[in-house]
Amino acid sequence: MKPIDPSRMTRRSFLETGLKAGGAAIAAGTLPLSLVELAFADPAQSFTFAYISDAHIQQIKGTEFVRNWDRGLIRAVAECNLMDPKPDFVMFGGDLAQLGKPEELDHGAEILSALRIKPRMVMGEHDYYLDLGKYWSKLFGPHSYSFDHKGVHFVTLNSILTTDEWTHHRWPTPERRMAEMADLDNPNGSPFMVGAEQREWLKQDLANISRDTPLVVFSHSPLQKIYKGWNFWTDDAEEVQALLAPFRQVNVIYGHVHQIQYNQIGTISFNAVMATAWPWPYPQSYAQAESYLPKLTVPMNRADSFFERDATGWQFIDIHSGRVAAHYLLPENGTRNVAFSENLGHPTDLAYQADSSRIPPQTHY
Amino acid sequence: MHKKSLAMAALLMAGIGVQAYADPFDKTDLDRWAAEQEVVVHQGRALFTDGGLGKNGVVCAQCHPNAANTHPETYPKFQKQFGKVAQLWEMVNWCIKNPLEGTPLAADDPKMTALLSYIISERRGVKLDPGKH
């Protein structure tokens, strides 16, 4: 694909660029969601999907919910319905609820029900740790599953599991367990993991898939290790990566971190999607800890706290020849375009990758 | 220097002064002060994760894990949204009023002192940089 002038990029022009590219997949977003388009040499095979994540619907009491988080999700749903071309399917990346309550999941599901296309769901820790996913399953089905769409194999994992001891034996009540896991910086939390059982399921699921098939894996937590203190982390990430590594083109798309992140490990490209609820600081801005933010990531601008939707941007994701390029559209900020570079072999920001190209708001401290 | 003062200084240096002129403190005092500080920092952390600080159950730590992205070392500094040089406690109140939909605290409210104590404690070791953006 030709380089794109990010300052002139609109969703429309972006889609056109992507469609012309051939062999490309484009993800577009104009709100806290992503539209992913997988475009192939044969235009009849091209398709898009949208991605919404981390809504954190939070009950105050009764039928009262936190307005700010509601608005983020409502806006994403509205935008998704207006997308043209219409996405083939919609993903929701986890953390629909804040404290896993049936009221929150119901309210979130009600907002999502306005989508013209029923979303496929990823489990987040905020959905899970009250009743271990029971009510969520009733609404949305299995926690891990796979499907094929126009030549691409998609897998969804529940990556926010943890040890049996922490899950079943440490806390006096389910409410306490949920509260302990809900605070990002709580030292009483526990590292996320996919777990042996699900890794075995993944191994079986991939057994009959050709190594040349583009693979897209959805998880809530990063399937890589960034900062354990805030659970920007999956404890068995290396084991999961080992199962994905034989494939020629692997793309992991994850939520949870509420910020732009991207990385490349072997054949696996990683891209985070943004939250509809609120942005998070980069771990490097916590003075008392070391983090492993991928060196590749040029951070998004520091959020302007006076503008409640700031840094809850949205993105188009473009999977060119089976590789993700993410086009992040950020309110009151310049567009960010992160595309897989065939020359460099990893995702690269088209405007800001070089140290000398960075702008002051990208400095997090 | 006056002769009498010299004599007093000599006495003090010799450690045989009867009265405490320089407010001396020892390890017991230091430990007590550190403990007092620790109590208030803990109160601050509790408030930082307390859904009751505002009115909608949202807590400070939801957006500011470990009080990150608060930059206490840069205040007071110009805030374009306020149109003036503002103090950190004014920013804390902005958050209480807006994302937390609550009632702002007085600058010297013990809760404000606790919140600031916690925020600054998480930033210990970072050099002062007033006005930085």
Other CB atoms within a 10 A radius of the CB of residue B117 amount to 19
List of residues 6+ apart from A112 with CB closer than 8 A: A73, A77, A92, A96, A119
> So what's the pLDDT on residue A24?
33
The answer to whether residue A332 is domain-embedded is yes
Hey, what amino acid is at A279? P
A279–B contact, CB cutoff 8 A = yes
> So what's the pLDDT on residue A327?
64
Is the pLDDT at B4 greater than 60? The verdict is no
The answer to whether residue A1 is domain-embedded is no
User: What is d(CA B130, CA B133) in angstroms, rounded to the nearest whole number?
Assistant: 9
Tell me the nearest-neighbour CA distance from A321 into chain B, angstroms.
37
Closest among B7, B123, B20, B26 to B75, alpha carbons compared: B123
Chain centroid, CA A231 distance in Å: 15
The answer to whether residue B15 is domain-embedded is no
Is the pLDDT at B3 greater than 60? The verdict is no
Is the pLDDT at B37 greater than 70? The verdict is yes
Closest among B67, B118, B115, B71 to B106, alpha carbons compared: B115
How much helix, strand and coil, in percent to the nearest 5, is found in chain B? Answer: 50, 5, 45
Other CB atoms within a 10 A radius of the CB of residue B21 amount to 9
Measured between CA atoms, the residue of chain B closest to residue A305 is B95
How much helix, strand and coil, in percent to the nearest 5, is found in chain A? Answer: 30, 25, 50
Q: How would residue A347 be classed by pLDDT, with cut points 50, 70 and 90?
A: confident
User: What is d(CA A219, CA A206) in angstroms, rounded to the nearest whole number?
Assistant: 16
Helix/strand/coil (H, E, C) string of A219-231? ECCCCCCCEHHHC
Give the domain range for residue B32: 25-121
Measured between CA atoms, the residue of chain A closest to residue B51 is A60
Q: How would residue A80 be classed by pLDDT, with cut points 50, 70 and 90?
A: confident
Hey, what amino acid is at A128? Y
The answer to whether residue B129 is domain-embedded is no
A291–B contact, CB cutoff 8 A = no
The shortest CB-CB distance from B58 to any of A66, A230, A360 is to A66
User: What is d(CA A312, CA A305) in angstroms, rounded to the nearest whole number?
Assistant: 11
The shortest CB-CB distance from A288 to any of B95, B98, B122 is to B122
Is the pLDDT at B24 greater than 70? The verdict is yes
Closest among A335, A200, A342 to A264, alpha carbons compared: A342
Is the pLDDT at B16 greater than 80? The verdict is no
The dihedral through the CA atoms of A129, A130, A132, A134 has a sign that is: negative
pLDDT in tens, B91-130: 999 999 999 999 999 999 999 999 999 999 999 999 999 9
Lowest mean pLDDT among A157-166, A238-247, A337-346: A337-346
Q: Number of C-alpha atoms within 13 angstroms, CB side, residue B100?
A: 26
User: What is d(CA A231, CA A59) in angstroms, rounded to the nearest whole number?
Assistant: 24
Hey, what amino acid is at A7? S
Residue A212 token pair: 């040349």
**Which stretches within chain A are classed as H helix?**
11-21, 67-81, 102-112, 125-128, 134-140, 164, 174-182, 196-207, 237-244
> So what's the pLDDT on residue A8?
39
CB contact under 8 A, B94 and A67: no
Q: Contact, A58 vs A99, CB < 8 A? A: yes
> So what's the pLDDT on residue A64?
98
User: What is d(CA A153, CA A243) in angstroms, rounded to the nearest whole number?
Assistant: 14
Does the structure's ipTM exceed the value 0.90? no
CB contact under 8 A, A281 and B98: no
Residue A67 token pair: 């307005």
Per the prediction, chain B carries an average pLDDT of: 90
The answer to whether residue A364 is domain-embedded is no
Is the pLDDT at A256 greater than 70? The verdict is yes
A119–B contact, CB cutoff 8 A = no
When divided into structural domains, chain B yields a total of: 1
Residues of A in contact with B94 (CB under 8 A): 305-306
The percent of residues above 90 in pLDDT, for chain B, comes to: 80
When divided into structural domains, chain A yields a total of: 1
Give the domain range for residue A204: 6-358
- Rounded to an integer, the average pLDDT of A144-153 is 92
CA distance readout (Å), B9 to B1, B19, B24, B26: 11, 12, 15, 20
Lowest mean pLDDT among A51-55, A150-154, A317-321: A317-321
List of residues 6+ apart from B117 with CB closer than 8 A: B37, B40, B41, B43, B44
B15–A contact, CB cutoff 8 A = no
> So what's the pLDDT on residue A33?
45
The answer to whether residue B20 is domain-embedded is no
Can you give the CATH number for the domain in which B81 is found?
Answer: 1.10.760.10
The A residues from 161 to 220 touching B (CB cutoff 8 Å) are 183-186
The answer to whether residue A30 is domain-embedded is yes
- Rounded to an integer, the average pLDDT of A275-297 is 87
- Rounded to an integer, the average pLDDT of A271-285 is 91
Can you give the CATH number for the domain in which A217 is found?
Answer: 3.60.21.10
Is the pLDDT at A6 greater than 70? The verdict is no
